[in-house]
Chain A
Amino acid sequence: MNVATSVLAPVSIVTVNNVIKQFGRFAALRGVSAEFDQGRFHAILGDNGAGKTTLLRALAGLAQPTQGTISIFGKNPREACRDLGYMAHPSLLYDEMSGMENLRYFAGLYGLAGDNRCAESIRAVGLDPELTRGVGQYSQGMRQRMSLARAILHDPKLLLLDEPFSNVDAHSARDMVGLLNNMRDAGKTIFVVTHQALLLEGVADEFVWMADGQIVDRTASAITSRESVP
């Protein structure tokens, strides 16, 4: 991974402007407006149904806002797809193919040839590129790591991770947090939707609290704001 130069002056690269997202009668996002700076690690917290995943999918260009706009690096999310990596609950990998084969295929989608980048990503998440077993036989922790490897394959400037640590063993989780920490230091902007806020305490620059489809609070630490959430 190339190491970025000195810490960049805070410039907002992700702007969300009064976004409403309606699924039929249910409004998942109810007027979200926010700006997020380059090179910072944001944790998005909140109960189920608060709209965390919908917001992340909107940032990734997978969900079209019913109203309002989102701009990433000044472009709309779908145009900025080369610069963003997305990871979701499901693995987004083929179960019958090994990790290496999966990554080689997805590298092709980004026009990247050669195996060294794939092997590099796999090693970065602490897995063995030579593993021939199908991803379907991986443990949950290994599968999440391989999914993360796929998300960082094309060295994106923006990472959008949906619950990367969910039901992952503590060891794997700590490794992944360490990896994300290094990437943030390398200048990447990271968004993590999670229920395990404590894992990111002291690592994430900002904790964004969401409830009922809105951002209700943005704090520097996961703990201090605990009592303000009803």
Chain B
Amino acid sequence: MKRLFPILSIVTVALLGYALYQALVVAPTDALQGDVYRIIYYHVPSAWTAFLLFFINFVASVRYLARSKASSESAVKWIAIFIGVVGLIAPFLPPVRAKIPAGMEPGAVATTIVLIPVFYFLVGKWFPGDRLDVLALTSAEVGVVFCTIVLVTGPLWARPVWGIWWAPGDIRLTSTLVMWLIYVSYLVLRRFSNSAQTQMLAAALAVFGALDVPLVYLSIWFFRTQHPQPVIGGGGQMDPRMLHVLLFSWMAFLFFGFLVGWSRFRLELLKREVEHAHAMESLVGAEASSSTSLPLSRSAR
């Protein structure tokens, strides 16, 4: 297992290098925006990776909260199964199918929704006990890093193309900002809380934060229909070659995100090990002193 990390690192560096090469050289120049559009190959993959990490945080937090009480565990299990079943059937029903945006295949929508419960059960098995909380913390922190990049590269893209640093009307960028705020407040709560149940409180906040995201999208989407403004990256079809480079770049960033996440995960385990060692040390210290000097007396009945 130890050797896997360096191998993966080399593979990731190679992928990132090749993705960079593709982004700058192979991908065609955009008709409208010229070469500056290539920011998309870093901006969009970072956003997708950040959202994926926040989703992992949400599932891990729900799992952590559910595990604390047996009654809620079975309830959440059934909700997950329900989502899976609905996800499998709904996209193919005619009324729902009409609503799916043109570009997406109902099959694709179904698989993504079904992934949620599948992932929920996998996380439960792979991350027993305390590691679930470590996963939640890690995915939130690394997610915030990727989110920061999205918020930096976004304006850097909007400035040359639209002459504005910030487009409040652009759903994606504005909602990314709100998500960044939510998960930074999540990390701040973890740092400042000195309760024995910090993990529980953080999990509760993570659920609140995740519940908020669809509402953020909803409110900004409607707000935008009333005040139409330029949208970064524009909608509509992408040139297949561009799409290919984008997906490749995303894969490279996913590898990179996985590596950073894994090391942050191991760092957190080490931190908790040190903390445990400190506590045990004071424990062992006490036993050494109490067992020698004080005869443990008969219990007075």
Contact = CB atoms under 8 A, between A and B. Distances in A.
Contact, chains A and B (beta carbon distance below 8 A): yes
Interface of A: 10, 20, 22-27, 30-31, 34, 63-64, 206, 211-214, 216-220, 225, 228-230
A177 B184 CA distance: 53
Contacts of A230: 293-294
Nearest to A23: B196
Contact of B286 (A10, A63, A206, A214): A214
B74 interface: no
B286 A213 contact: yes
B293 A217 contact: no
Interface residues of B, number: 21
A31 B300 contact: no
B286 A218 contact: no
Contacts, number: 58
Interface stretch (B79-87, B158-166, B277-285): B277-285
B4 interface: no
B294 A26 contact: no
A214 B288 CA distance: 12
Contacts of B287: 30-31, 214
Given A230-B293, A230-B294, A30 B283 contact: yes
B296 interface: yes
Interface of B: 194, 196-197, 275, 278-280, 282-283, 286-287, 289-290, 293-297, 299-301
Given A25-B275, A64-B196, A30 B286 contact: yes
B283 A220 contact: no
Contacts of B289: 212
B279 A216 contact: no
9 contacts: A26-B279, A34-B299, A64-B197, A206-B300, A214-B287, A217-B297, A218-B299, A219-B297, A228-B297
Contacts of A220: 300
B293 to A, nearest CB: 6
A63 B197 CA distance: 10
B294 A228 contact: yes
B223 to A, nearest CB: 44
B26 to A, nearest CB: 52
Residue in B275, B278, B299 with the greatest tally of chain A CB atoms within 10 Å:
B299
Given A10-B301, A23-B196, A219-B300, A211 B290 contact: yes
A31 B290 contact: no
B176 to A, nearest CB: 34
B283 A27 contact: yes
A56 B197 CA distance: 19
A37 to B, nearest CB: 8
